[in-house]
Structure 1
Amino acid sequence: MKIEALKKRLDRNRPMTSVTIRIPEDVIEDLKRLAPLLGFSGYQPLIRAYIGQGLRADLERFESETVTALIASLKRRGVSDEIIHEALNEVVHS
């Protein structure tokens, strides 16, 4: 994830929206029990943390798969490993 996008994700004052989701009662009870043990003020922040963790993992996985596919495509078109490496370094360090 790029630095600017990460900074936005860490902003506690970013806009929020309400959603309704059906979750089994026993799961909610477990979340309520675990939240304070994990340092959360309630079960809803814990749910948001769990969603955020899964979302970041999936975004990283799909972004990584896209970059890997792009590199393979460039190699098939004759772009050298050296040029690909230079381009990747430029993107990472910009």
Structure 2
Amino acid sequence: MKIDALKQRLNRDRPMTTITIRMPEDVIEDLKRLAPILGFSGYQPLARAYIGQGLRADLERLEGDTVSALIASLKRHGVSDEILQEALGEATQR
């Protein structure tokens, strides 16, 4: 994840929107039971944390897969490992 996007995610004053989601009652009860144990103020912040963790993991996996696919394609087109390493180094120094 890019640094700017990460900084935005850490901003507690981000705009929020209300949604309605149907979930099994036992899942809600488990969230309510675990929230205080894990240091959350309620089950909704815990549910948001779980959704955020899964979202970040998938974004990282998918964005990483895109970069890997691009590198593989460039190699097939004859770009040397040395040039790829140099370019990756430049890209990650931002």
Shorter-normalised TM-score: what interval?
A: over 0.9
The structural deviation recorded for 1:45 is 0.2
Q: What is the distance in 2 between the residues matched to 1:18 and 1:90?
A: 41
User: Does 1:74 find its partner at 2:80?
Assistant: no
Q: How does 1:55-70 map to 2 (within 5 A)?
A: 55-70=55-70
Letter in 2 for 1:34: L
CA distance in 2, matches of 1:22, 1:89: 45
Post-superposition offset of 1:35: 0.1
Q: CA RMSD in A?
A: 0.5
Letter in 1 for 2:53: Q
Q: How many residues align?
A: 94
Could you tell me which residue of structure 1 aligns to residue 13 of structure 2? 13
Tell me, which stretches of 5 or more residues in structure 1 are unaligned? Answer: none
Structure 1 stretches of 4+ with a deviation exceeding 4 A read none
> Whole-Å Cα distance in 2 between the matches of residues 92 and 43 of structure 1?
37
What is residue 91 of structure 1 aligned with on the other side? 91
Residues 37-91 of structure 1 show CA distances to partners (whole Å, capped at 9, x for unaligned) of: 0000000000000000000000000011000000000001111101100111111
Q: Which runs of 5+ in 2 are unaligned?
A: none
Measure, in 1, the Cα distance between the counterparts of 2:19 and 2:85.
43
Q: Give the Cα–Cα distance (whole angstroms) in 2 for the partners of residues 52 and 91 of structure 1.
A: 26
